A and B are shown apart, each in its own frame.
Chain A
Amino acid sequence: MKQGALTDEISRRRKAIYNGMSACLQQNDAIKATEIWLQEFSNKPLYALQPFLSRIIDELNISIPRSTIQQQILKSLLNESDQQVDVPQSINLPEFTHENSIVPKTVNASHKVFTHFMDYFLAALFKYDSASELSIKVYVFDNSHRIGVNGNDLDKVKQWLTDNGQVTLIRQMSLQQMQGLFHLFYVSSCEYVGPVKTDKLIEESLKIVEQLPESAEFSMKNIF
């Protein structure tokens, strides 16, 4: 795709994302979310919706269910019309770089890299074999006590597993706990979709996550 065409395509998607966000979020949040999308997800295939949603819910403390936002964005993406409002002038593609990102720096790099990786990995895994999604989650749920997270945090992990993406993963997970959680998914993924496919999906997800600026601070390979 030529540069001009690429810019047009991103502009089209930006408009759809903004309109979808505006339908369910306050304008400030919609603008920030669109900016995040532009900065970090606009170059990803298939709009990278799941990781994007997970990210903005986490970053902007959005309480609206993820599924509702997703529905609005999809509607907006699929039904482009003249009725869609223009994107505010402030959301300008060339000005945004990772260095002047509006994303708060409060979330530590390991958590961010890990949650993004898991989002990509699980989205790809369940897209490949949606029939096994429940079984894989049930396995992880049943064995979640083995990752060394206790009390409320364990409940949050279980909620994260069962609430279909509406709950974000707890922030305060140690390296060992992240390793443990990933390992449970790895084992169940091997059992249900096979080790070869699992390794391939991990590799693909890793490639995407390595593009995050936080990956310079924390490598997902520490989890493997």
Chain B
Amino acid sequence: MKYFLIVLCLYPQIVFANSELLKTELDTVWVVVAASLVFFMQAGFALLESGMSRSKNAVNVVMKNYMDVCIGSIIFWLVGYGIMFGDNITGYFGTTHFFPQDHSNIEYSFLFFQTMFAATAVTIASGAMAERTRYHAYLLGALLVSGFIYPVYGSWVWGSYYNGQGWLAELGFIDFAGSTVVHSIGGWVALAGIIVLGPRLGKFSNAGVPREIPGHNLTLVALGGLILWLGWFGFNGGSTVSADTSIGLIVLNTHLSAAAGATGAIIMLLIIRMPVLLTQSVNGSIGGLVGITAGCATMDPLYAILTGFIAGMVVVIGSRLLEMLKLDDVVGAVSVHGFAGVWGTIAAGLFLKDNMFNMSQVVVQLIGVAAGFLWAFPVALIMYFIIDKVIGLRASSLDEQRGLDFSEHYEIAYPEFQTGLVHKGKE
């Protein structure tokens, strides 16, 4: 021990170098583990969305989730990463690092982590558009979201990994893990999708009264919600992109906000005299998670709870608002990711540690939120409109009657209950 201390005193650079290496290794391990947790969120999305859909569309929902990760990951590697994180001289998009190869190991782990984020943003629309969207048309939309809509906005906020900086980042916009960058953008894409699609057959009566179309398995919904909750620890905790001690506060805030989100949703349901539904409770907790994503690293736990609580209420009100507008969002994605994301981004400015209620920061947050909407919504609206006109986005009413499992995938989720159905191919 004595000799070891002598060596330390004589050659401190050896210890420093080892410590740097260890830090890099730990960072890599943490980022990869966190990215894997974010990937696991796809299972959560698949379970939640499929559980909220009718059994005749269960395969379709899962297939959309499954394949948008696959397509989104490849496209993000091809072009998305370059647009989002490449040299960003203009502040509006990156221009280098397309088809990333021959990069450092730490860059690969960062790319892996960011690929999972892109996949998350893409998959948000799938649940909202469930039960009446043609499979291939949806995948084409997912391709464009992951390769263009998401990375362009991402470059405005996070595009400073190599050279240059996004214009929103320069303004001082705070979105630590993506309340707006990932979730609101996904929510606005979903909103555009459901507008172009129109509601499911019979969702609204002739008088415009919304009809409840219950999902086929609420156990899956709850399980999906819990998996998303778990994955979010990686989503927010991993956004440090390093294994540092701030992770403790980040994951604690994340957890508290989710808990408060479900509580806020329940209380709002009681206030407006609606039944306290499992689906709304789960959505409330996810709303809390979305809400805290922007400010999880820069907020005290008390304010994380407040942020989540209000986000849960926003989710409930948002769902009602969409129904009043005759918009059919099967899983409540617009409300959970879009509206709660807006609130969370504003809250990140309002409850900024050591600089609370700074209105100039709040204004910057509002600019970022508005920019997200004004970019993602119209572009997605045009995209889905063109897809609808060219290859058809909406499934036919006959396919809707038979279920998209049967009409789009040649297989059904629950054959025990549909034994007479034998797919004979497309007509």
Contacts and interface: CB of A to CB of B under 8 A. Distances in A.
Q: Do A and B bind each other?
A: yes
Interface of A: 179, 183, 186-187, 189-196, 198, 219-222, 224
A194 B214 CA distance: 12
B405 to A, nearest CB: 13
12 contacts: A183-B401, A186-B401, A191-B202, A192-B205, A194-B213, A196-B211, A196-B212, A220-B420, A221-B420, A224-B401, A224-B402, A224-B420
B421 interface: yes
A194 B401 contact: no
Interface residues of B: mostly helix, strand, loop or mixed? loop
Contact of A183 (B214, B398, B419): B398
B200 interface: yes
A187 B420 contact: no
B296 to A, nearest CB: 39
B90 interface: no
Instruction: Pick from B202, B214, B401, B421 the residue with the most CB of A within 10 Å.
Output: B202
A189 B400 CA distance: 13
A195 B213 contact: yes
A221 B147 CA distance: 42
Contacts, number: 44
Contacts of B205: 191-192, 194
Interface of B: 200-203, 205-206, 211-214, 397-398, 401-402, 418-421
Given A195-B211, A219-B420, A221-B420, A190 B201 contact: yes
Nearest to B202: A190
Instruction: Pick from B201, B397, B401 the residue with the most CB of A within 10 Å.
Output: B401
Nearest to A189: B202
Contacts of B203: 195
Nearest to B419: A221
Given A183-B397, A187-B401, A221 B421 contact: yes
Contacts of A183: 397-398, 401
Contact of A194 (B211, B397, B420): B211
Q: Which 7 A-B pairs have the closest CB atoms?
A: A221-B420, A190-B202, A195-B202, A194-B211, A190-B201, A219-B420, A186-B401
B402 A196 contact: no
Contacts of A222: 420
Contacts of B398: 179, 183
Nearest to A193: B202
Nearest to B397: A187
Given A183-B397, A186-B401, A219-B420, A191 B211 contact: no
A192 B397 CA distance: 15
A195 B201 contact: yes
Nearest to A191: B202
Contacts of B420: 219-222, 224
A69 B396 CA distance: 41
A185 to B, nearest CB: 10
Given A222-B420, A224-B401, A224-B402, A187 B212 contact: no
A194 B402 contact: no
B414 to A, nearest CB: 14
Contacts of A198: 202
Nearest to A176: B427
A73 to B, nearest CB: 34
A224 B206 CA distance: 25
Contacts of B421: 221, 224
Given A186-B401, A195-B201, A195-B202, 10 more contacts: A183-B401, A189-B202, A191-B201, A192-B206, A193-B202, A195-B203, A195-B213, A196-B212, A222-B420, A224-B401
Contacts of A193: 202
A81 B336 CA distance: 67
Contacts of B419: 221
Contacts of B200: 195
Nearest to A195: B202
Nearest to B424: A222
A161 B212 CA distance: 30
Nearest to A221: B420
A190 B397 CA distance: 11
Nearest to B421: A221
Nearest to A190: B202
A195 B132 CA distance: 13
A193 B206 CA distance: 10
Contacts of A190: 201-202
Nearest to A198: B202
Nearest to A132: B206
B213 A196 contact: yes
A219 B420 CA distance: 7
A189 B206 CA distance: 12
Contacts of A224: 401-402, 420-421
A183 B201 CA distance: 12
A78 B420 CA distance: 41
A187 B206 CA distance: 13
A191 B206 contact: yes
Contacts of B402: 224
Contacts of B418: 221
A196 B214 contact: yes
Contacts of A221: 418-421
B214 to A, nearest CB: 7
A222 B423 CA distance: 10
A192 B211 CA distance: 11
Nearest to A196: B213
Nearest to B209: A194
A206 to B, nearest CB: 9
